[in-house]
Amino acid sequence: MLQAQNLSQRHSGVVQNANCVVMVPPKEFKFNAETAQDNEFQNQSALSDEQITQHAMAEFNQMVTKLRQEGVQVVVFDYPLGDVATPDAVFPNNWFSTTTDGAFYTFPMACTNRQYEVRSDELIQQLSFAGRTIARQDSLVEYQKQHAYLESTGVMVIDHINRTIYAALSQRCDREVLEDYAQRIGYERVVSFQTALPSGQPIYHTNVMMAIGESFCVICDEVIPEYERRFVLKSLAKDKQVISISLEQMNRFCGNILQLETVNGDKVIAMSRSAYESFSPAQRTQLSSHGKLLPFNVETIESIGGGSVRCMLGEVFLPARSHTL
């Protein structure tokens, strides 16, 4: 039944999964003290900055190569070094998003040194070179002046099929900006909720606790207060197979995964090696029914950066002029 539903959705132009992603090389990557103030997933390292860069670049390059081999279009967005270092540039999904009607959005980032990652004109040019059509640009960056932030698909996990945005509210996810963006893209439903880690602090980005595919969802629902949890799970379960993960699994980035399509329409699910190994055999079997599992060793990036494979992938839904890899 789900297969028939998904087929009709493709025919009607609804797309859940991108077949193209933007990836940014981690050439300035290191521990970011500014983001660590509310990102409990970051860890200091005994490695030198040079060693960190070397390890991170190796992880990045093997991930790009493997995704391309599988048939996912990867746009590597390199950039010139500026006066301000951007250690988290490897996580581009936090500052831009795209839509199937050719819109390119930029977002207000909470951390000052991350705001320097936003290079809209350069990325748009790169996407055009890659055969993608940009029809219009829009920006919510002006909210930064009000200290209101919305870090794109870091804080928004989107069910495009049901035109619904799920978002854990935090310093990096302001309700007003969230509602504004939903209105701009014409999505009728916003399901926002509170979260709490054992420390009492909220989850810094929704995409470390949940992921939504075409017909499945992975979620660490135990971090959601019980009075909101039931509503969130009921909403997801309407047409998704809900795979619940534990707090320990979330800490191993089991929630930070992303279903993609190849240029031939095959489904793949990108995740870190640590996430793959932390899923139970039964959960891996469930996920495998939704696409080929692609585990990547990004242990340096996810340990020091506090984000994993999904954070490294900026989805591109822009119309394609070609299928150039």
Tens digit of each residue's pLDDT (9 = 90 or more) over 257-293: 999 999 899 999 999 999 999 999 999 999 999 999 9
Share of the chain above pLDDT 70, in %: 90
Angle, alpha carbons 122-126-129 (nearest 5°): 140
- Read off the pLDDT band of 33 (50, 70, 90): low
Q: What is the pTM of this model?
A: 0.92
Q: Burial, 84: exposed, middle or buried (Cβ in 10 Å; 0-12, 13-18, 19+)?
A: exposed
Q: Is residue 95 scored above 90 in pLDDT?
A: yes
Residue 233: CB atoms within 10 A of its CB come to 16
- Read off the pLDDT band of 7 (50, 70, 90): very low
CB 195 within 8 A of CB 167: no
User: What is the mean predicted confidence (pLDDT) over 156-177?
Assistant: 97
Tens digit of each residue's pLDDT (9 = 90 or more) over 106-164: 999 998 888 999 999 999 999 999 999 999 999 999 999 999 999 999 999 999 999 99
- Read off the pLDDT band of 50 (50, 70, 90): confident
User: Quick check: helix, strand or coil at residue 319?
Assistant: coil
311 DSSP β-pair partners: none
CB 259 within 8 A of CB 268: yes
Tokens of 4: 């028939």
CA distance 315 to 18: 6
Whole-number CA gyration radius for the chain = 18
Q: Is residue 11 scored above 80 in pLDDT?
A: no
Report whether CATH 3.75.10.10 matches the domain 13-315: yes
Tens digit of each residue's pLDDT (9 = 90 or more) over 304-317: 888 899 999 999 99
